[in-house]
Amino acid sequence: MIKRRRAHTAGRPSRLESTLFSLSKIVGLVVRPLVLLYFLRTGSTSLAHDFSLLLTATASSFIILNNQNFRHAYQYFLERGSENGVRGLGGRSIFSTYVSGTFTHILCFIAVAAAVLWVWIGRLDLFLIALVLIVIEKYFDDDQRVLVYKRRYYQWILNFSLRVIVPSLALILAYTLFRVESASIYVAVALLSAGFYVGVFQRQFARLSIKSIAHDVRKGWPEFFRSYFIQYREELFIAQIWAFLTANVIIVDRFFINATNPLMFSEYIFAINVANTVQAFHNLGYVSFRRPELLKSSTSVIKAEFAPLNWLLPLALTSFVLVGCLAADALGYPLSQLDASLLVAISLLYFLHAVSLVAKEMAFWRLKRSVLLAQECVVFLFPISVYLLGYTDPLIIVLATCAGVFIRLVLLILLAHLASKPGSSLRISPVATAPSRPSGRERQSAKAQRP
């Protein structure tokens, strides 16, 4: 019993580690907006625009390189490792499938991701460094996900620092000391940081990954691709489309603002980063604590969505952010150069995103993936329509996006409520779970009952 208890508690992070992890996530919300604000207020508008466009285009396109095949690997070590306090990717076959599948997916879809990048950027110099950055972001993002599952929060903080803070500081220093106004500094330092991180902290993982990929490639390229695309067609295709749409729903307004008003794009990106703190803090401070209850099939969608705190907290946060921006402007220290009406519209947009989090969470676990895909498309319909009609006013674009998010919220509530009824055709099929391994006490009891 003592050994088991020690093994179990050994996998748990300390309170200090968990606190630093939470603080790092909060820092992640503000570091890039602060860098952008520094460039805007020191007169480097071209660097501010390139930096905004680089990060936004990367966020839109690198999700294409994610293929959801990590779920099998994580499920393996979550189920097998919990008994002995062991955390990590286990099993040669599962590890090989995970690594080779990721490598194959990147080879096959890097061209698609590049096409999305080009649609966003349309400039060769920025496009080339963005193409490098999406691969770096793909690696760091996968590694951070693994570290969260393994509860290695100190290493997650290091990952985050090398991924965001170090490149951002390098970009600021290059501009401040040498007046270098090129976003390539950010990507170059990010690439060096990734190389340092892999070489020092992930050397064994990199070596095993290379060996695993080389072993599968020796079977022949046709077999290498065929084995992956069987899994992709049967399981990962719909998941990838849904993940891409979900990631781009939150930034669809930015695409049309950049297309119609490129000179104000960096100011707009700073404003929406400030407004996005409402959604982020509501997720961290409310939705994450309610998540276990939201996953239960017996929980009422209507009661959960219209719980007072689900609306009052985002309303209070939105009011605080909006009043703070307007007060700073009145005192002569403007945080944003945008019109007050546009700031109010942006605040409304992210208020709607925040109050939609509960309905989105419940819909994800209840609705068929085809239904989820259809309701995500609703948000895109409105800004695309006003753009095709020739409207270029940023206020109209943002209000159109607000309308799309609001109608999607209504659909999410309605569809998730209907899916909760017995025999509903909207409900996703239950996932078959593998039988859990019997504990030592259960095995001894089974032996004792044998004749």
Q: Please report whether residue 380 resides in a domain.
A: yes
Q: Please report whether residue 245 resides in a domain.
A: no
292 and 216 assigned to the same domain: no
364 and 231 assigned to the same domain: no
Q: Please report whether residue 2 resides in a domain.
A: no
322 and 386 assigned to the same domain: yes
pLDDT of residue 3: 44
pLDDT of residue 117: 97
* Whole-angstrom distance, CA of residue 171 vs CA of residue 58: 17
Q: Please report whether residue 107 resides in a domain.
A: yes
222 and 260 assigned to the same domain: no
pLDDT of residue 404: 97
pLDDT of residue 318: 96
307 and 380 assigned to the same domain: yes
pTM of the model: 0.85
Q: Please report whether residue 227 resides in a domain.
A: yes
259 and 201 assigned to the same domain: no
Q: Please report whether residue 1 resides in a domain.
A: no
205 and 263 assigned to the same domain: no
394 and 322 assigned to the same domain: yes
Q: Which two tokens stand for residue 328?
A: 């700073």
289 and 223 assigned to the same domain: no
Q: Which long-range contacts (CB under 8 A, 24 or more apart) does 39-47 make?
A: 39/175, 39/266, 40/266, 40/267, 40/270, 40/337, 42/175, 44/175, 44/181, 45/266, 46/181, 47/175, 47/181, 47/182, 47/183
283 and 397 assigned to the same domain: yes
Domain enclosing residue 192, as ranges: 11-237
pLDDT of residue 91: 59
65 and 163 assigned to the same domain: yes
- End position of a domain, from candidates 237, 271, 304: 237
Let me know the angle formed at the C-alpha of 278 by 280 and 354, rounded to the nearest 5 degrees.
Answer: 80
- Mean pLDDT of successive 10-residue segments in the chain (451 residues)? 42 82 86 94 95 96 82 57 44 76 90 97 96 96 85 92 96 96 97 96 90 84 79 78 89 96 96 94 90 89 96 96 88 88 96 96 87 90 96 97 97 93 81 41 41 38
Q: How many domains is the chain partitioned into structurally?
A: 2
* Whole-angstrom distance, CA of residue 134 vs CA of residue 140: 10
* Whole-angstrom distance, CA of residue 350 vs CA of residue 276: 6
pLDDT of residue 78: 52
292 and 161 assigned to the same domain: no
- End position of a domain, from candidates 206, 237, 268: 237
pLDDT of residue 75: 58
